[in-house]
Amino acid sequence: ITDMERKKYVIIMAAGSGTRMGAGRPKQFLELDGKAILQKTMEVFLNACPGISVITVLPQDFIGYWREYCLENNFVCPQILVPGGITRFHSVRNALDRVPDGALVAVHDGVRPLVSEELVRDMFREAENVQALIPVTPCVETMKVLENKDGKLVSIPGAKADRSVLYGAQTPQIFHSEILKESYAMPYDTSFTDDASVVEKYGKSLSYIVGERLNIKITTQDDLLLARAILSLKGQDYSL
């Protein structure tokens, strides 16, 4: 006899101000393939897991804007809208107030629209069995440990990064909701750069799955160009 499946939630993080893009609006609202990046991101989850409960975290000033956008573009998605906080940590914490214990909760960056439905489905399946599931990709470039001295990058003597043990963490990161909520009850710490780092500090062990190279976080103008290029080629056979 197997346990009942946990109910699925996704928290879509879109409360950043997007200052690195240099556009008039936060990047999650910029257009990709004729739709807001945020809509494209949400559609991956809605297609992968019909019936999933969606919580969208937005800048307070853009909650009205997003409601209007969904109406005007006939984007029908039941979603709980939550205002963000001062950092991503505070934004996630606001959203977790709306998530019950005993569920599976994915936390995903609203600016990662290229994650595949397949990875989302695979991860939700695997997350039933582990407390925290984190997608990672191996580091392909040689990493340098540097510091910025008066605008000039210089080596930190003796500091070396061994590429063979370095991986980049992506989203979605999926958790048993009671674990994530307990973890986020801790006080904020500047070392919290993703949800996994919060859960690990709380003392829980993390499980990993191989992520996707094309699941990029659209942060700069170049990323937007890359995303457009990837989308225009998707579905084409690029095997050797």
Residues that bind ligand C5P (CB under 6 A): 13-16, 28, 57, 84-85, 87-88, 91, 109-111, 219
Residue nearest to ligand C5P (CB): 16
| Tokens encoding 139 | 């580091």
* C-beta of 96 vs 111, nearer to ligand C5P: 111
Q: What single string gives the DSSP state of each residue in 93-132?
A: HHHHTT--TTSEEEEEETT-TT--HHHHHHHHHHHTTSSE
The b/e string for 37-51 (b: 16+ C-beta within 10 A; e otherwise) is bbbbbbebbbebbee
- Smallest separation (angstroms) from ligand C5P to the CB of 136: 17
- Smallest separation (angstroms) from ligand C5P to the CB of 223: 11
* C-beta of 6 vs 25, nearer to ligand C5P: 25
* C-beta of 5 vs 61, nearer to ligand C5P: 61
- Smallest separation (angstroms) from ligand C5P to the CB of 171: 8
* C-beta of 8 vs 88, nearer to ligand C5P: 88
Distance, CA of 39 to CA of 32 (rounded, Å) = 9
| Cross-strand bridge partners of residue 207 | 133
